[in-house]
Chain A
Amino acid sequence: MISSLSFINQKGEILIYRVYKDDINRNEIIQFCAKMIATKENKESPIINIDQTSFIHISIKDIIILATTKIDVNVAMVLEFLYQLTKICKAYFQGNLDENCIRKSFVLIYEILDEVLDYGIPQIADANLLQKFIQEGGIQQETTINIERLRQLTYTLTGAISWRPAGLYYEKNEIYLDIIESVNLLISRKGTVLRSEVVGSIELRSKLTGMPECQIGMNDKLLMGKQARYNKQNSGITIDDMKFHACVGLPKFEKDRIITFIPPDGHFQLMSYRISENINIPFKVNAFYSEIRENKLEIRLKIKSIYDQNIYGTNIIVKIPVPKNSVNVISASSIGKAKHEVEEQSVIWRIKKLQGDVEISLNCEIQLGLTTREEVWSKPPLKIEFQIPMFTASGLRVRFLKVMEKSGYRTNKWIKYLTKGGEYQHRL
């Protein structure tokens, strides 16, 4: 499987180097660093083969995580594993993964690497579980002495319900359900929708006693179809694809489309889904670029919020690309503030709050500086970031959420919806 794993910084220095199989040597890694990382050639392809060694890498900001192998490995698995490994590291480092924390906690990382891979074969990559027995500075001695606890831990690690320890107890049983959708949109110059898609996820936070079985049903077309009592008008939405957390019983879902699971404790992502039909696009954008004089560019932008009046969009950021040689930008907007940000090569228009069904506008006059070379300006697309609470672009709704435990306790349930801008782009 994986022969070696390294963490490398941007200069190509090895920060962590763990060998799992003897078929690789350090010089090969050093050569890769010198050739690919130092020269930035690694941007060309994440998977390359040099002299019969395959180098598979991902980049997390300034850190490159590299796996090598000499066999025809399942590369989809390796890449996913590398990403999960970064998640584990982030969980240990309070969300950061940079050179500093790696250098500081390299011992911890080695310890993690020893557990997550055995002979280069992924074993356990669940941050919650790992944290139960790998801690910076060693785990408490009591844990290692308490045989019963150790047994329980190994049972959980290898068991069928490896994500949930037994014997949990909460005074108050609560479950929080967040439906978070990202709208990915690509609109052509002429205003036609080239690609629209919602990538959503259901995030759960569970504080539940014992081993509860939960069921969730959504206004999913196939589920509604199965339950014949719904009429045709309310036929539900079409979900293209769903991906589930390991806790969801897949065969059962395949059979009756009800999501049944025993939740992990605490926060986790229950599922992600993708929807491409009938998406409620929240904004309509009109942008005109015109060169009014030589070296003078005018941009007129109109945005209309096309969601319900009772709903408010928040933290809306519109990035309007301008040429590199823009020097003097005068902008006037009906709402919010617009500012030319040179580093971004854009005019950034920030709007704190925007009610539904409202049209707003922005006018910019841009003075273009003289350039020595005539470079083509590859107009990047205009981008919008936003958040709209209580709104789902897909129209997805949770219809029921049941929690069943043998002790039969009552559970408080909280459900929240949020739509965010993902890759929301308009070509210009």
Chain B
Amino acid sequence: MANVEKGFSVTLSIKECICDDYSVFALSLSLVSATTKPGDLWECSIFRQDKTKTSTVGVEKGTIEITNCFCVPHNESKEEGYVSASMGVPGRTPGTMFAPIPVEVISYAPEVVGTNATQKSKYSRQRIVEPSTDLHQISEATQNMEATLDALICKCGCATYVDDVLSGKVPADNYIGRELTRMVNQVPKMSAHEFEEMLNTNMKDLLMVIYLSQLTKVNVGLNEKLTMLVATQ
């Protein structure tokens, strides 16, 4: 329809989406756009006007950032109440009209962590996941990294790719070449000696801090026992 020529792209941040009868998860919506009157035509009520963001691919006007929604009791059927990811934004027509909108999900840091932590519940039988300790998380992440590096180097034949291009066997793809150089350049250039030194000083700092914190713990415990002993003589 003519009124929806200016498409809107909707960026969802993961917060809250509550469906009629049961809460689904946290997808939250807040309407941003300065052009339309946000919120009137929505089924869930929206609050919060944020600054307009720059447009994304192929879109003229602003993006809509959705941060909050809650469900309103009404008697309609489940299907209508359900807010799905690929929802539409009503245009400026007086009646409501839903057009599909490209949706992109963004979220800020703590949420990502939270969602990642809850992701694991997919795999467990009882759908339970327990937050793991820091060290455990690091080891898991290193394993993941190892696996991805493995996949990159061995399976995709990264190492051989460069040789092939040099010897002319495979046509050079600029994009891949650029990505590869970018990846290699990200490793900071340091002599082995400098690196060792930096590593060692950091390690020493951390060990010292650990030692001090253990000392403080013991000290505090001792303090309490002693005062208790002395005070109740």
Q: Do A and B come from one complex?
A: no
* Chain A residues engaging chain B, CB cutoff 8 angstroms: none
* Chain B residues engaging chain A, CB cutoff 8 angstroms: none
